């Protein structure tokens, strides 16, 4: 499995326009993501280390969890781990 290019992904996210979360919101989102991750582990769908790092980086950049999935789909080519140009 290919690694996620966090540096390139972070650069693209920083160029995107969206309402970033406040530090207080991000702290709450981190708790929610940790709970969701625990639920995935119970379902035997544990995210990879790269996926964990990607979601942590997105939170670092203030990306609301509700936008994460659509942002990933927008940035990556279908069936590929390369960021779309």
Condensed to tens digits (0 to 9), the pLDDT of residues 5-52 reads: 899 899 999 999 999 999 999 999 999 999 998 898 889 998 888 889
As for how many domains the chain has, the answer is: 1
Task: Tell me whether residue 18 is in a domain.
Answer: no
This model's pTM is above 0.85: no
- The secondary structure of residue 16, as a DSSP letter, is S
Residue 83 lies in a domain: no
Task: Report CA-CA distances (Å) from 4 to 9, 21, 48.
Answer: 8, 23, 10
Binned at pLDDT 50, 70 and 90, residue 73 comes out as confident
Distances from the Cα of 49 to the Cα of 14, 20, 24, 73, angstroms: 22, 24, 25, 19
User: Does the residue 50 lie in any domain?
Assistant: yes
- Cα-based angle 63, 67, 71 (whole degrees, multiple of 5): 90
Residue 80: inside a domain, yes or no?
A: no
Give domain status of residue 53, yes or no.
Answer: yes
The domain in which residue 51 lies consists of 6-13+23-75
């Amino acid at each position: 499995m290919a690694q996620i290019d966090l540096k390139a992904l972070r650069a693209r996210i920083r160029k995107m326009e969206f309402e970033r979360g406040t530090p207080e919101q991000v702290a709450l989102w981190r708790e929610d993501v940790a709970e969701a991750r625990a639920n995935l582990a119970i379902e035997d769908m544990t995210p990879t280390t790269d996926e964990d790092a990607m979601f942590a980086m997105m939170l670092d950049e203030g990306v609301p969890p509700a936008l994460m999935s659509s942002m990933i789909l927008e940035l990556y080519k279908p069936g590929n781990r390369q960021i779309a140009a």
